[in-house]
Every structure is written in structure tokens, then in C-alpha cells.
Amino acid sequence: MKTAVEPYLFLVIFCGVAVVFPVIPLLMAWMWRHFFQPSKPGASKNAIYECGLDSTGEARVQFKSQYYIYCLIFLIFDVESIFLIPFAVAFTGLPVGAFIAILVFLFLLIEGLVWAWSKGGLNWVN
């Protein structure tokens, strides 16, 4: 009679090997440090910053989250300037309708700017 082999047994063995294999070198390194290599900590070695310069000031810099409104407004106007450049380049060859269309576009832009300004979106500190 054949003994029933657990089908997942090899997975258990595999997991065991996967754990033991990295643990052995780590253990050897730890033993080496413990028995041979003296620990030599120091102020610069334990320093957080590691580019050679002394760190100055606070690591925890706080900035206002309202900054994102400022960024969004900048982004919108930045993209819209890209629409205006081709218009300016082809200005002399354009019909009156295109001129009026771009005037409407500019009006919407200025209206948006006035709205954002009046809402206090351009103020750095609210």
C-alpha cells in the first residue's frame, strides 16, 4: 500500500528553506559583529543626514496646504498661454470671427482670474 503523500508538503519545505536561507548569512554576520568587530559609533556616523554637511534647522518643515490652489491657478493660466501663442503667430491671417472668439476666450480667462482673486486664491497666507 502506498503511503499518501501530502500534496502541499513540498510547499511547507519550500517555505522553510526560504526562511532559513537568508537567516543563516544574517546570523553569521551578527555573530561576526558580536565576536570580532568592535562597535564604533559616533556623532557623525549616527547623524541622519549623510552628504557631508551638517544639517541645519528643523527636519519637520510645515507648509500650508492651501498652496495647491495657487498651483492649480498657475497651471490653468500656463496651459491657456499655449493656446494664445498660435493665435498671436497667425494673427494677421485670421478672419474677424476668430478674433472675436479669442476675445471671448480672453474674457473668460480674465473673469476666472478676477473670481480667483476675489476669493483670495492669490493670497499666500489665508
Return residues touching other proteins (CB under 8 A): 36-38, 40-45, 47, 50-54
Q: What is the DSSP string of 45-57?
A: TT-S--SSSPP-S
Least distance (Å) between residue 58 CB and other proteins: 21
Least distance (Å) between residue 35 CB and other proteins: 11
Least distance (Å) between residue 54 CB and other proteins: 8
**Contact predicate 76/112, CB 8 Å:** yes
Cell of 84: 494664445
d(CA 58, CA 38): 33
